[in-house]
Amino acid sequence: MSKRGYHHGNLRQALVDATLELIAEKGPAGFTMSEAAKLAEVSAAAPYRHFTGREDLIAEVALQGYDLFADLLDYAWNDGQPSVLRAFEAVGRAYLAFARKHPGHYIAMFESGLAPNQTAELAAAVERVNRVMQRAAEALSARLPPEKRPPAAMFSAHVAALSHGIVELYARGKPGARSPFSPDELLETGVGIYLRGLGLIDGDC
């Protein structure tokens, strides 16, 4: 058959790919299942063979996004090599790179209102991302005396919040995305201020 989903041999993935385009263009609430079907070049009823509705389809997009995100962060972390600080900086850059390269996934993951524990698979994928971030935070904060170490989950949540804020304000081409500094510079200096506040780096670093 000539329809794109069947031609590719994977209707489910064809619908995910179509949804990624629609989310990036219109947002997670700006399209219908029939639009996803039309873009995938299948009938309006075809999506319901695999997904119960738009939320279920967005959940699959988010799941695939979290898997990609975890792979990228883990690669950037590289077991803390060549140094824990350099690897931590690489994780921050990877966060921004993912948001730029995979806007549809990023929006589905963080801006669709999707509960991270909506399914067991999604919860596991989210936890995998969190483990990479917390592993990096633990390795870096190990330089501090035990009584001065913030909980790794809090440490990584602070950095994730900073990264997400920079993505939203300065890295997405929105009206508020005007700054004399690049998103990468903003993240690097912001994380630097945070680490100095913890006493993990000195003023010359």
pLDDT digit string (tens) for 180-201? Answer: 788 899 999 999 999 999 888 7
Cβ-based neighbour number of residue 188 at 10 Å:
15
Mean pLDDT of all residues in the chain? 88
**pLDDT level of residue 10 (50, 70, 90 thresholds):** confident
Residue 9: pLDDT band with limits 50, 70, 90: low
| Cα–Cα nearest to 167, from 136, 150, 151, 190 | 190
**C-alpha dihedral, 182 to 188 to 194 to 200, nearest 10°:** -170
Q: Is the dihedral of CA 166, 169, 174, 177 positive or negative?
A: negative
pLDDT of residue 173: 61
Predicted pLDDT of residue 177: 55
pLDDT in tens, 148-170: 889 999 999 999 999 999 998 88
Residue 20 pLDDT: 95
Give the Cα-Cα-Cα angle 114, 29, 47 (nearest 5 degrees): 85
* Chain centroid to CA 114: 13
Domain with CATH 1.10.357.10 in the chain: 54-198
Looking at domain 54-198, does it have CATH number 1.10.10.60? Answer: no
Question: What is the predicted pLDDT for the residue at 168?
Answer: 87
Sequence ranges of the chain with CATH classification 1.10.10: 1-51
Fold of the domain spanning 1-51? Arc Repressor Mutant, subunit A (1.10.10)
Token pair belonging to 136: 């990096």
Q: Is the pLDDT of residue 6 over 50?
A: no
- pLDDT reading at 55 higher than 50: yes
